C-alpha cells in the first residue's frame, strides 16, 4: 500500500475539559460558590464540578491568571474553525481574527483533528491539542526528596510515645476520605502544622538547602491528587482534619441566609452601645446534655436577666431523627420565638426596644418576632461573641447552676424563675453594688 501513512490521534478530548473552562470554574470557587454552582456557571455538569473539586482537594491545580495574548484563545479557535468550514484562505482568516498568517497556518497544521486519518480543524480538538502540548509537568519536591518527605511525614503523623519512648497508638480511627465527625475520636499523631514544619527545617538543617519546603507546598502535596508525594489520609493529622481545603471566600459566606445587612449589629442605634437607655437586650442559648437548652435574655443597662423555658417536644429520643424534620430538642426557631415573645411582652413597651443575638439558626423567625413584640432584632458578626459580652458574662454566671454536660430539660419554669431571681438579687460592682432588680 502506497501513499501517506494514516495520522494517529492521541485520543478523544474530554467534553468541556479545556483549560479556560477549568479556570473559570476555579475562579467561581474562589468567589465562594459551591462546586455545583460553579459547574452550572461554567456550563458543565454538577458531577464534573464535584470531581474537579475533589481532585484538586479544594485547591486550584492551575494558574487563575488570564492567558497571555501571545497564545490563541478558545474563542479565537472557534472563529478560525467557522471560517475554515467556509473554505476561507489562511490570509483571509488571519485578517478576520487579527493574527499573523503564519500563526493561522501553524495552528491549522499542528492542532487539527486527525481521527480517522483525515485532517479536520475543530475548536475543541485544537484547544485540547494545544494544552496537551503546552503542559510542563513539574515533579513535586517531596516526591523526589525522600529524606525531606520522611521528615515531613514524621512531623505530621509521627507516633505519640510515652516517657520511655514506647509508642501509644491512641484510638483506631479508619480514614474514610471525609472530615472527622463531631465529637468523634481522631487519629493521634505529632500533628505539627505545615507552617511549623517549614519553619523548623531552617533550624534543624541550617546549611542544607535541599531541606527546604514552603508550607503551601506541603498543603498541595496533601490535598491535590496525583502529586505523588504525601498520602491523602495524612490530612486527618492536620488541626482542622479537613479532607478537602475550604476556599477562603466560602468561609466568609457562612452567615445564615436569614441575616441581611440591615439587621447586622453595625446598623444598631448608637444609644445601645452607650447603655444610657434601658430596654436593649442581649440573648443566647446555653446548651446541655443531649441538645437540651435554656434561653437567656440580659438587659444591657441593668444586667437584669430572664430565662426562657425550652422543653423538649413530644417524641424526642423515641423516634429516629428526620433530616429537615421538626427540631424535637425544643430550641427550634418557632419555640425560641414564642418563648422570647412570652417573656418580653410581660414588660412595658419602653423596656423592649432591641435584642442582639448571634447568628444561630434558632433566630430564623426574627421577622415574626419583631411583628409580634415590636422588638428590633440585630445580629452579631460571625465568631464575635464579645459583641454581646454582657450576655456571655451572664451565661458564665449561670453555669454555676446549669453546668456543662448536664440535662437542662429537667428544670421547670419555676426553677428557672427562681435562678433568675437569685441572679437579679446579687449586688453588682458596675451598678455601684445595687442589684439588677433594683436598677431595673
Q: Which of 277, 258, 440 is nearest to 337 (CA)?
A: 258
Decide which of 289 and 140 is more confident. Answer: 289
Confidence band, pLDDT 50/70/90 cuts, at residue 6? very low
Does residue 116 surpass a pLDDT of 70?
no
Q: Give the per-residue pLDDT at 314.
A: 74
User: Residue 283: enclosing H or E segment and its boundaries?
Assistant: strand 280-287
Cα separation, 171 vs 160, in Å, equals 12
Q: Give the per-residue pLDDT at 290.
A: 85
- Beta pairing class for 293-299 and 305-309: antiparallel
Confidence band, pLDDT 50/70/90 cuts, at residue 1? very low
Which pTM does this prediction carry? 0.57
Burial 20-39 (b: 16+ CB within 10 A, else e): bbbbbbbbbbeebbbbeebb
Q: Which of 8, 14, 57 is nearest to 35 (CA)?
A: 57
Confidence band, pLDDT 50/70/90 cuts, at residue 322? low
Confidence band, pLDDT 50/70/90 cuts, at residue 386? very high
Q: Which of 273, 276, 294 is nearest to 285 (CA)?
A: 294
pLDDT in tens, 124-161: 888 888 877 777 667 788 888 999 999 999 999 888 88
The DSSP 8-state label assigned to residue 434 in this structure reads B
Does residue 296 surpass a pLDDT of 80?
yes
Does residue 371 surpass a pLDDT of 90?
yes
Cα separation, 382 vs 392, in Å, equals 15
Backbone angles phi, psi at 285, to 5 degrees: -115, 145
Does residue 241 surpass a pLDDT of 80?
yes
Does residue 221 surpass a pLDDT of 80?
yes
DSSP 298-317: EETTT--EEEEE-PPPTTTT
Decide which of 236 and 378 is more confident. Answer: 378
Q: How confident is the prediction for the chain on average, in pLDDT?
A: 85
Report the range of poorest mean pLDDT among 10-24, 320-334, 377-391: 10-24
Amino acid at each position: 500500500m502506497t501513499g501517506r501513512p494514516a495520522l494517529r490521534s492521541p485520543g478523544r478530548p474530554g467534553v468541556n475539559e479545556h483549560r479556560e473552562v477549568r479556570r473559570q470554574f476555579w475562579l467561581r470557587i474562589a468567589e465562594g460558590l459551591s462546586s455545583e454552582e460553579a459547574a452550572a456557571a461554567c456550563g458543565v455538569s454538577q458531577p464534573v464540578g464535584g470531581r474537579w473539586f475533589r481532585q484538586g482537594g479544594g485547591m486550584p491545580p492551575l494558574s487563575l491568571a488570564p492567558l497571555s495574548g501571545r497564545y490563541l484563545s478558545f474563542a479565537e479557535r472557534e472563529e478560525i474553525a467557522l471560517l475554515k468550514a467556509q473554505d476561507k484562505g489562511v490570509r483571509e482568516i488571519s485578517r478576520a481574527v487579527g493574527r499573523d498568517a503564519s500563526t493561522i497556518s501553524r495552528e491549522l497544521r499542528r492542532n487539527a483533528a486527525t481521527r480517522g486519518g483525515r485532517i479536520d480543524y475543530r475548536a475543541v480538538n485544537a484547544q485540547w491539542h494545544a494544552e496537551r502540548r503546552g503542559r510542563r509537568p513539574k515533579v513535586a519536591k517531596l516526591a523526589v526528596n525522600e529524606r525531606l518527605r520522611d521528615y515531613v511525614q514524621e512531623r505530621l503523623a509521627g507516633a505519640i510515645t510515652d516517657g520511655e519512648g514506647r509508642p501509644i497508638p491512641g484510638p483506631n480511627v479508619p480514614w474514610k476520605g471525609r472530615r472527622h465527625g463531631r465529637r468523634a475520636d481522631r487519629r493521634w499523631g505529632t500533628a505539627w502544622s505545615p507552617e511549623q514544619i517549614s519553619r523548623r527545617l531552617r533550624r534543624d538543617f541550617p546549611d542544607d538547602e535541599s531541606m527546604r519546603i514552603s508550607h503551601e507546598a506541603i498543603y498541595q502535596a496533601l490535598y491535590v491528587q496525583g502529586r505523588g508525594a504525601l498520602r491523602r489520609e495524612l490530612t486527618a493529622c492536620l488541626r482542622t482534619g479537613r479532607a478537602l481545603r475550604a476556599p477562603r471566600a466560602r468561609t466568609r459566606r457562612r452567615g445564615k441566609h436569614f441575616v441581611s445587612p440591615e439587621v447586622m449589629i453595625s446598623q444598631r442605634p448608637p444609644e445601645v452601645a452607650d447603655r444610657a437607655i434601658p430596654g436593649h437586650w442581649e440573648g443566647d442559648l446555653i446548651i446541655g446534655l443531649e441538645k437540651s437548652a435554656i434561653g437567656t435574655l440580659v438587659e444591657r443597662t441593668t444586667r437584669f436577666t430572664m430565662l426562657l423555658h425550652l422543653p423538649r417536644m413530644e417524641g424526642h429520643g423515641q423516634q429516629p431523627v428526620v433530616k429537615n424534620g421538626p427540631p424535637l430538642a425544643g430550641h427550634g426557631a418557632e419555640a425560641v420565638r414564642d418563648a422570647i415573645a412570652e417573656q418580653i411582652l410581660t414588660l412595658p413597651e419602653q423596656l423592649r426596644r432591641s435584642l442582639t443575638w448571634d447568628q444561630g439558626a434558632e433566630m430564623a423567625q426574627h421577622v415574626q418576632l419583631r411583628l409580634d413584640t415590636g422588638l428590633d432584632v440585630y445580629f452579631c458578626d460571625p465568631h464575635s461573641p464579645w459583641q454581646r459580652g454582657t450576655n456571655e458574662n451572664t451565661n458564665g454566671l449561670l453555669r454555676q447552676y446549669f453546668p456543662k454536660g448536664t440535662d437542662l430539660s429537667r428544670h421547670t419554669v419555676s426553677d428557672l424563675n427562681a435562678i433568675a431571681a437569685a441572679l437579679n438579687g446579687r449586688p453588682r460592682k458596675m451598678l455601684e453594688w445595687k442589684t439588677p432588680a433594683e436598677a431595673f
